[in-house]
Amino acid sequence: MGGDMAIVRKITIGVAPFAKMFRVSSQGGATVDALLRLRTKNLADDYFEEVGSDAERKNFRIMKSDYSNVVQITEDAITFTKDFYVSGGSYDFGKFIAEFKIVWNAINKTMAVHDIRRIGIVAEYRYEVDANKPSRWLREKLTTLKTQRITEKFHLRFEEREFASDGNAPDPQKSDFINYIYAYYDGAMDGQHVQPGALNATLDVQRYFTPVHNGDVADEVQKIYKHFVAAEKTLDGHLKSLGAANGKK
């Protein structure tokens, strides 16, 4: 098995402030209105098609019906997601960051997000493996665990942290550092796009800010993306060296 570069099937930018945004319940409706108005200005008419919120109006979701564009606004974080599983579209970072800037500016005008503790980029990938037995393959390739039974629902998750700016191991509550989260799991466990016989991998690269960030968010995303690209290359190269291949679209 082999393949070219990693194929991004789903990608998210997440922004989390230091403190909860209790104003979501009062400003969320105005923020949704601002996002929907973008369809007559900077975005396609069908860019967003559905709006939902919880009963307490602490969680808003604005999306296209095929999940290709999703914005989630909660008291804890704001996320912007592009999902290509259903639409079949192709990922392009330039287009992704351009759309994020438009969406983020509209959100920030009403929500006035400040004192940001964390910004992250999360991507999901799908691979094919021998015999279409991803749980067994992951156990055998990524661990030394032995069993005489059938392996199912395998899920491995771990983090890597760069040293803090002072050269020491980072304190996750106080330090300024880059955090990498890797996850490998059976495609049958995917919460939204179930695919038995496939292997899923996710990469989450986050920058924790100390002091908190109050500058240009999109600019910071582009800086984090440099770390993300390097980590993606390592993840993809490792899986393919073990025999995995890009999954079919």
Residue type for position 138? L
154 with 200, same domain: the answer is yes
Question: Which residue among 89, 114, 139 closes a domain?
Answer: 114
Average pLDDT of span 157-162: 96
Residue 89 structural domain: 20-114
Residue 147 lies in a domain: yes
pTM for the full predicted model: 0.94
DSSP designation for 21: -
Q: Classify residue 155: in a domain, yes or no.
A: yes
pLDDT in tens, 90-108: 899 999 999 999 999 999 9
CB-based contact 209:117 (threshold 8 Å): yes
User: Which candidate, 75, 122, 94, 70, places its Cα nearest to that of 235?
Assistant: 122
pLDDT confidence tier of residue 82, bands split at 50, 70 and 90: very high
Tell me the one-letter amino acid at 196. Answer: P
139 & 101 share domain: no
Give the per-residue pLDDT at 89. 86
Give the span between the Cα atoms of 143 and 124, in whole angstroms: 21
Alpha carbon 232 to its chain's center = 13
Claim to verify: residue 67 and residue 131 sit in the same structural domain: no
Domain boundary among 95, 114, 133: 114
Residue 14 resides in a domain: no
Residue ending a domain, among 96, 114, 132, is 114
Q: Is position 149 within any domain?
A: yes
CA-nearest of 195, 200, 186, 193 to 134 is: 186
How does pLDDT run across 200-248, given as a tens digit for each residue?
999 999 999 999 999 999 999 999 999 999 999 999 999 999 999 998 7
